[in-house]
Structure 1
């Protein structure tokens, strides 16, 4: 029996809800790397039949969060893999694009919102609250993505960012998190100055160093 507690699905969006619940449990570490994923156990935990759980596991395998070999195993993927490296490249390129588009659109209110998010991020790091740090980091980076106004970019980031989330959690629980605070400030300053080259360079460094500052 799978020794975790997943709340039951209480509405009829079965496949999508199963996918979201299992993905969240993988990303936040409730289901750590290497955990065997048995459709029967997960279905019982979620209060579902096996069919939507199997579909969710198939999608999570495509996302790179689950490793599966037919008739052999289905398990949570390791934190580092070729899928993670590929996702990092996609996420970095899309954030570079979003920042480039956002430079001319940033208003004082957007800059203020990013600074406030970075203040929350720094406070969360100081308190050792990794969950709050991830939330504040998302809020900060979501502003240029929103300003870019490209739905395909937003949707692709929503798919691939979770593959990097476990690396972010490791980083944000270490002293390296303070590097992120500083780089956020550089990014915000560049956006405020409408300095496209510097803003793109900083956002690129933020995502590159997610792997290289380990």
Structure 2
């Protein structure tokens, strides 16, 4: 090859940017359950064309985060305690599997993950708390050596982020969560697979109980329905 190739400057995928913006707004409650969404309004607010908005809404609908609205457009899906508990059942199994496999490999998770989480827990930025929590669990998935775990968990985390957004507005368990994360990380590094699996499963069960209880308190009987 005689002539050098020009460097490529790849722009971030616009559909994914719209998807992430809408997912973040749904997760932190800016877009509340039942909120009506139209392509025109979203496109105007995000300063994009309608096409990436249409594709993003289709993806959110496939994920179960939005539903067809009566008449025209879509609306944010209801947030229910029963649905959240079901998601956490699957997440608990996947996370326990990942923790056990990571422990078999004696993987040492980056200590900065815990530091980042504790710092976020001391603040008021709910999105930062959610991202720190997701980063820790993603690191466990990666440490497992099984790429199918992260792929399987991806959809569940979209719903978990939303439930966490509703729960983390007011909670006294932020520090406790990161104490549990640190204990799990130590069990993984020590190679204690049985303990790592048990701790991770208990961690998911406590999170599920706490979040579903807060959802019921916030949304009443509606949140208990599937």
Structure 2 counterpart of 1:116: 112
Q: Residues 190 and 199 of structure 1 are in contact (CA less than 8 Å); yes or no, is this contact kept in structure 2?
A: yes
Distance 1:135 1:166 in 2: 12
> How many correspondences in the alignment?
200
Structure 2 counterpart of 1:4: none
Distance 2:26 2:116 in 1: 25
- Runs (5+) with no aligned partner, structure 2: 1-10, 214-226
Runs of 4+ aligned residues of structure 1 deviating over 4 Å after TM superposition are none
Shift in CA distance, 78/187, structure 1 to aligned 2, threshold 3 Å? same
Q: Residues 171 and 210 of structure 1 are in contact (CA less than 8 Å); yes or no, is this contact kept in structure 2?
A: no
How do 1:15-54 residues align onto structure 2 when only pairs under 5 Å count? 15-54=15-54
Instruction: Report deviation, 1:14.
Output: 4.1
Instruction: Report deviation, 1:70.
Output: 5.5
Flag the structure with more relative contact order, 1 or 2, with Cα contacts below 8 A and sequence separation at least 6.
2
Structure 2 counterpart of 1:99: 99
Structure 1 counterpart of 2:133: 137
1:77 and 2:77 matched: yes
1:194 and 2:181 matched: no
Shift in CA distance, 75/94, structure 1 to aligned 2, threshold 3 Å? same
Under a length normalisation based on structure 1, what TM-score does the superposition of the two structures give?
A: 0.79
Distance 1:151 1:211 in 2: 25
Between structure 1 and structure 2, the one with the greater Rg is 2
1:210 and 2:170 matched: no
- Runs (5+) with no aligned partner, structure 1: 1-10
> What SS does the aligned partner of 1:67 have?
strand
Q: Residues 113 and 132 of structure 2 are in contact (CA less than 8 Å); yes or no, is this contact kept in structure 1?
A: yes
Under a length normalisation based on structure 2, what TM-score does the superposition of the two structures give?
A: 0.75
Structure 2 counterpart of 1:5: none
Aligned-residue CA RMSD (Å): 2.5
Instruction: Report deviation, 1:63.
Output: 1.1
